[in-house]
């Protein structure tokens, strides 16, 4: 997740905001930072979650959304150079298997918002997928379905 997340190096401290421009949410009346290129269903589910979190007094925002294959490759190359291949494989997926490149994954923050989202994952249909990444959520299954068991890390994508 580069700036944060399972498809990039884990953040050191708070998850920084993405540099992705604000994008119209498709007529729902709000602008969602970090939404450019995301799957429409993921964005709709996030919008519902963001509004519900706000009603509970919790901030929830996208810190990293869709990435280009080139950006994901850059994050992978940086992680390998910094951490070595074995460690990088646990935190960064190659572009061809990255849910961020597919537009079906988001990193969220702040931590309190991510915890709120995880508690309500099945209600909104966004699931935390990696045990080692509290900020990474994916479009998995239908709203109301139980989320799949989390994987320990992103190394499964290298198999």
Domains and CATH numbers, the chain: 40-157 (3.30.1380.10)
Q: Is the pTM of this model over 0.85?
A: no
| Whole-number pLDDT of residue 67 | 94
- Which stretches of the chain score pLDDT less than 50? 1-31
| Whole-number pLDDT of residue 138 | 97
| Whole-number pLDDT of residue 36 | 86
pLDDT digits (tens, 9 = 90+) for 54-82: 999 999 999 999 999 999 999 999 999 99
- Inter-residue contact 63 to 135 (CB < 8 Å): yes
Residue in the structure block whose two tokens are 């699931």: 127
- Inter-residue contact 86 to 79 (CB < 8 Å): no
| Whole-number pLDDT of residue 8 | 45
Report CA-CA distances (Å) from 82 to 87, 105, 136.
9, 24, 21
| Whole-number pLDDT of residue 25 | 36
| Whole-number pLDDT of residue 111 | 97
């Amino acid at each position: 997740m580069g700036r944060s997340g399972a498809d990039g190096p884990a953040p050191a401290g708070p998850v920084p905001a993405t540099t992705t421009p604000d994008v119209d949410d498709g007529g729902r009346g709000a602008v969602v930072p970090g939404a450019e290129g995301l799957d429409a269903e993921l964005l709709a589910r996030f919008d519902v979650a963001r509004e519900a979190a706000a009603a509970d007094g919790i901030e929830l925002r996208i810190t990293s959304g869709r990435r280009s294959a080139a950006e994901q490759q850059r994050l992978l190359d940086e992680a390998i150079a910094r951490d070595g291949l074995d460690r990088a494989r646990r935190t960064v997926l190659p572009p061809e298997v990255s849910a961020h490149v597919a537009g079906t994954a988001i990193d969220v923050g702040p931590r309190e918002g991510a915890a709120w989202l995880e508690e309500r994952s099945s209600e909104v249909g966004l699931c935390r997928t990696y045990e080692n990444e509290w900020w990474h959520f994916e479009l998995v299954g239908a709203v109301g379905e139980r989320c799949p068991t989390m994987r320990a890390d992103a190394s499964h994508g290298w198999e």
